[in-house]
Amino acid sequence: LVLRGEPAVALRAVGVETVADLAALDPAGEPPVPLGVMPFADAVALARAWQRELSVVRRVPRVAVPRADVELDVDLESFGEAGAYLWGCHLTYADGMALSEPPGYRAFATWCPLPDADEGRSFAEFWGWLRALRAQAAAAGRSFAAYCYNAQAENRWLYSSVERFAGQHGVPSAAEITEFVESGEWVDLFALVSEWFLCAHGKGLKRIAPQAGFEWHDPEAGGENSMRWYRDAVGMNDVPPEQAAAQRARLLVYNSDDVAATLALRRWMCSPAVLQIPLAADL
């Protein structure tokens, strides 16, 4: 659907009943009815993208993405409301000059069934590592940026973790989290995708990253499946130890692919290849 809810009902009431009807309107003209938060020109462009079977179109000729010398992609895995059992990071030196920490993927996890205090231990290790990396970059005069896809989720668990595990060794204060979140070094790629692109089939990472040529190793990769894998991984489903170990490994691959996907997406957004995506104004 291009539009749903009240805007769709209102359009039908004035004779705009199909995607083709919407696509035929002049995006520079006055909307036939108020569309709420979506700009009228975006609605028309999305309808035209649907007609052409385009998943993504650019809003602007050039896409801007903040970059840094030291770049860190971050993704967490949570088990419902019980807690965040895994913080995964992929470190890249965009300028090719490594600090003491080697580039690549690193995971901070607890495999104790949540809720469990060991979650605080894994979170503290993750945060201590991130804090030290930022400090190293600053001391070396290098710029630093950490990237996620939809900061709302990560921020929620950052603040939840410091609240639930306050006083535990290595757990930062809420003020330290706020300093990081508001520093400009915490970059939400979902927000950038929302700003620079129109996505006809959704803006989820698994929808947009394939545009950058990225594919997950696991054909069943997804949030719902990861919940099932987690239950096996921590013994909730009473599986043999070897199956639990295999599911832990599967979750680590899944998480490492998620952070590799945001890296691939960022590189694509900064490359000439993104110019192959049609411009909304040209539809």
State how far the alpha carbon of 24 is from the alpha carbons of 46, 93, 213, 273, in Å: 12, 47, 32, 29
61 in a structural domain: no
45 in a structural domain: yes
Distance CA 121, CA 70 (A): 26
Instruction: Mark whether 22 and 128 lie in a shared domain.
Output: no
275 in a structural domain: no
Q: Are 144 and 74 in contact (CB under 8 A)?
A: no
Distance CA 236, CA 80 (A): 14
User: What is the number of other CB atoms lying within 10 angstroms of the CB of residue 198?
Assistant: 24
Percent of the chain, pLDDT > 90? 86
Instruction: Mark whether 114 and 165 lie in a shared domain.
Output: yes
For 78-107, give the DSSP string: E-TTS-EEEEEEEEEETTS---SSPSEEEE
Instruction: Mark whether 84 and 15 lie in a shared domain.
Output: no
Instruction: Mark whether 33 and 100 lie in a shared domain.
Output: no
Instruction: Mark whether 12 and 45 lie in a shared domain.
Output: yes
Distance CA 212, CA 221 (A): 17
Over residues 105-118, the pLDDT tens digits come to 999 999 999 999 99
Distance CA 218, CA 230 (A): 15
Instruction: Mark whether 168 and 31 lie in a shared domain.
Output: no
Instruction: Mark whether 112 and 247 lie in a shared domain.
Output: yes
The values of phi and psi at residue 144, to 5°, are -135, 140
Over residues 245-274, the pLDDT tens digits come to 999 999 999 999 999 999 999 999 999 999
Q: How many domains is the chain built from? A: 2
201 in a structural domain: no
- For residue 161, give the H/E element and its range: helix 151-164
- For residue 180, give the H/E element and its range: helix 174-181
Give the domain extent around 40: 5-53
Over residues 77-113, the pLDDT tens digits come to 999 999 999 999 999 999 899 999 999 999 999 999 9
274 in a structural domain: no
13 in a structural domain: yes
Distance CA 264, CA 209 (A): 7
231 in a structural domain: yes
Instruction: Mark whether 37 and 110 lie in a shared domain.
Output: no
Specify the pLDDT at position 10: 87
Tokens, residue 160: 């939840």
33 in a structural domain: yes
Which residues does 186 contact at the CB level (< 8 Å), separation at least 6? 145, 146, 148, 151, 180
Instruction: Mark whether 82 and 30 lie in a shared domain.
Output: no
Specify the pLDDT at position 95: 87
Specify the pLDDT at position 1: 63
Instruction: Mark whether 22 and 109 lie in a shared domain.
Output: no
Instruction: Mark whether 32 and 96 lie in a shared domain.
Output: no
Which parts of the chain register pLDDT below 50? Answer: none
- pLDDT, mean over the chain: 95
Determine how β-strand 104-109 pairs with β-strand 84-93: antiparallel
Instruction: Mark whether 103 and 235 lie in a shared domain.
Output: yes
246 burial via Cβ count (<10 Å: 0-12, 13-18, 19+): middle
Confidence (pTM):
0.92
Specify the pLDDT at position 8: 87
Count of alpha carbons within 13 Å of 182, Cβ hemisphere only? 6
Q: Look at residue 198 and give its three-state secondary structure.
A: strand
- For residue 77, give the H/E element and its range: strand 70-78
Kindly state the DSSP code that residue 27 receives in the 8-state scheme. T
